Amino acid sequence: MYRTLFLTYVFTFFSLSIGQTLPPLPCTINPTSFFDQTLNHDANSGSASAGNGAFKQKYQLNTTHFKPGGPILFYQGAETSSINCIENTVLQDWAEEMGAMLAGLEHRFFGDSLPAGFNQTAAAPEQYDPLTLNNTLLDSVNFIDRVFVLGGSYGGTLTTLLRLFHPDTFYGAIPSAPLIKSFGLDAQDPDRFEWFKWVSQVYRDESAEAAAKIKEAMLDFSQSLSSPSKLSKIADDARLCKPYPTNVTEWTTFYTSAVIMSYWYAAQFNYHYDNPATFNVSRPLDIIVNQTLSAANNTGEVIRIAPQLYDMRSQDLCLNWTSDRFGSDTVLDQEVFSVITCKYLPANTIDIAPGGIFPPRDGYGNSARNCVNLGQSPTFANKTNAEIIKIYRFTVPDLVKAKRILFTQGSYDPTTAVGPPVFPVSNDRDATRTVLFHGLAHTEELNSGLRGPGTVGGGHSEALKLAHIVMKGTVMDWAGLAQGD
C-alpha cells in the first residue's frame, strides 16, 4: 500500500550487527510514524494462532532535499532496541547532492515494531513464529520498490540476501561487514576459527611486543584456572574487586566474558570517536596496546587492562569482575536477536585455533543448544556451513552472477574474516567486488560524517572520507547520476 510512495531509486540501509556500532540516539530531525505491515507475508509462516494480520511498523521520512527524479535513500534498522535515526547515517551526507528523499524502517520485533500484545519478557516460543527471514525481507519488499540497498553486519547479511533473492526490487547492494560464511555446527569446517585469527593479527600488526605480552598472559591465565593459588595471585595483581571469584565457573566466566571479549571488542570497535555503546573512548585498541607495553610483565597487570577500559573505570580503581557490562550488549536487543541466531543466522565464529594470541578452544559456539534453551527448533542451526552457504546463495558464482554488489570491510574488524572473498578485477562497474578500508572498525563507514567532532559517531577520519567517496561514487554510477553519464 506504501509502494507508490517510494518512486524510483531507493537506498535501503540495514544497520548494525553481530556486534554494534552506534547507540540509538533520539530522532531530532526526522519524526517517526507507523503504518500497518503484514504480520505473515507467507501464509505458511507463523503459527495458526498468529494468523496473517498486521502490526504497526515504525518508519521515518524526510523530503527536505528531494528533487523530482532523485533517488530515495532508505535506511532499515536491524537488531537495535530502538529505531536508528536516519540523520545519524551516511544517507544524511548524500541527500542534498543527490536530491534524495530519506526514509527509514525499523526491523520487526525490535523497538516499537511489535505484534499486538507481544511482550518478550513473557513471550512463549510460538509467539516468535512470524520472526522469519522471509518475513523480514518481505517487510522491505512490501515497503519499497526499485531500490539500492546498503547495510552493516547482520544488516549487511540481509542486504546481500535482498539483492540475491529480490533483484527486481533491490537493484544494487552495498553490504558492510556482512556474515557470509562460518555458519552452523560443522566441527570440520575451518571457517569457525577465522574470526579470532583476524583479532590476533590486528594486535600483532599494532605491536608485536604488546601482542606477545598478551599471548603470554592469556596462556598463563588459562593454565591457572585449575590452580587456586595461582588464581589468587592473578586476582591480587589484576586488582579485582573483592570478594574474588570463588570457583572455576566464576573464574571461567570472567576469563571468557570479560577478558577475551574486551580484547575482541577493542579491535572490532576501534572507532575514531568516543562511543558509549562500547568503550566510550576513541581508539581503544591503541590505548590497550600502549598500556600493555607499559605494564609489568605479570599476568594480572596485563589482563586487567582491556576489561577495565571496557567497563569504563579508571585504572586506579579495582576491576569489577561482576560488572553487567561483561557478557552483555548495551545496544542490541539480545533476547530477540538470540531467536534470530537460532532460526536463520546460526553464526559459528568464536572458536579459537592454536597459534594466535589467545589459548585455543573448540566447540564453544553452539546455536543449536541455544535453540533448545529458547524452546525453538534447532533444525536450521544443525545444518553445516556449506549447506547454509548454498541455501543463501553465498557461493562465489552466485555472488558474481548477481552483479551490482559492493562489499565494504574495515581492517580492524574481525567480521572481515567471515565475509565475502576477493572477486576478479573487472572494468565492468556493475561487477561484484570487495573493498577493504584500512583504519576503519566495524561498519564505521555507515556513520554520517556531518556530525561534528566530539559527538557520537561524529567527524570524518581520512579513512572514513575515502570510504564515503567510494560508496557514493558507486551508487551514483549505478543510478546513472555520475557526471558524464
Quick check: is 485 in a domain? no
Instruction: Encode pLDDT of 356-374 as tens digits.
Output: 999 999 877 777 778 888 8
pTM reported for the whole predicted model: 0.90
353, 384, 415 — which closes off a domain? 384
Sheet with 54-62, strands from edge to edge, namely: 32-38, 54-62, 101-105, 72-76, 10-14, 147-152, 170-176, 406-410, 433-437
Quick check: is 127 in a domain? yes
Q: Please indicate, yes or no, whether residues 469 and 416 belong to a single structural domain of this protein.
A: yes
Per residue of the chain (485 residues), give pLDDT as tens.
Answer: 323 233 333 333 333 334 445 555 668 888 899 999 999 997 644 443 345 689 999 998 888 998 888 888 888 788 888 888 888 888 889 889 988 888 888 999 999 999 999 998 889 999 999 999 999 999 998 988 888 888 888 989 999 999 999 999 889 899 999 999 999 877 778 899 999 999 999 999 999 999 999 999 999 999 999 899 999 999 999 999 999 999 999 999 999 989 999 999 999 999 988 877 788 889 999 999 999 999 998 999 999 999 999 998 888 899 999 998 886 655 566 788 889 999 999 999 989 999 999 999 987 777 777 888 889 998 998 999 999 999 999 999 999 999 999 999 999 999 999 999 889 999 999 999 999 999 999 999 988 887 644 454 455 688 999 999 999 999 899 988 876 54
Rounded (10°) CA dihedral 292, 297, 302, 303: 150
Which amino acid would we find at residue 43? A
Boundaries of domain holding 56: 3-180+394-479
Contact 184, 209 (CB under 8 A): no
384, 408, 437 — which closes off a domain? 384
Q: Please indicate, yes or no, whether residues 26 and 140 belong to a single structural domain of this protein.
A: yes
In the beta sheet, which residues pair with residue 176? 152, 408
Total number of domains constituting the chain: 2
Instruction: Encode pLDDT of 409-450 as tens digits.
Output: 999 999 999 999 889 999 999 999 999 999 999 999 988 887
In the beta sheet, which residues pair with residue 54? 38
Contact 271, 283 (CB under 8 A): yes
Q: Please indicate, yes or no, whether residues 193 and 122 belong to a single structural domain of this protein.
A: no
Instruction: Encode pLDDT of 180-199 as tens digits.
Output: 999 987 777 889 999 999 99
Phi and psi torsions of 181, nearest 5°: -150, 180
Q: Please indicate, yes or no, whether residues 98 and 136 belong to a single structural domain of this protein.
A: yes
Rounded distance, CA 334 to CA 64, Å? 35
* Orientation of helix 194-206 relative to helix 261-268, angle to 10°: 70
**How many CB atoms are located within 10 Å of the residue 68 CB?**
7
Rounded distance, CA 428 to CA 410, Å? 24
Quick check: is 484 in a domain? no
Instruction: Read off the C-alpha cell for 343.
Output: 532460526
Q: What pairing do the DSSP bridges indicate for beta strands 72-76 and 10-14?
A: parallel
Q: Is 241 exposed, middle or buried (0-12, 13-18, 19+ CB in 10 A)?
A: middle
Q: Please indicate, yes or no, whether residues 377 and 237 belong to a single structural domain of this protein.
A: yes
Rounded distance, CA 200 to CA 31, Å? 43
**CATH number of the domain residue 71 falls in:** 3.40.50.1820
Q: Please indicate, yes or no, whether residues 349 and 466 belong to a single structural domain of this protein.
A: no
Rounded distance, CA 305 to CA 283, Å? 14
Q: Please indicate, yes or no, whether residues 41 and 66 belong to a single structural domain of this protein.
A: yes
Rounded distance, CA 363 to CA 351, Å? 6
Contact 108, 48 (CB under 8 A): no
Instruction: Give the count of alpha carbons within 13 A of 343, CB side only.
Output: 22
**CATH number of the domain residue 237 falls in:** 1.20.120.980
Report pLDDT for 441.
Answer: 95
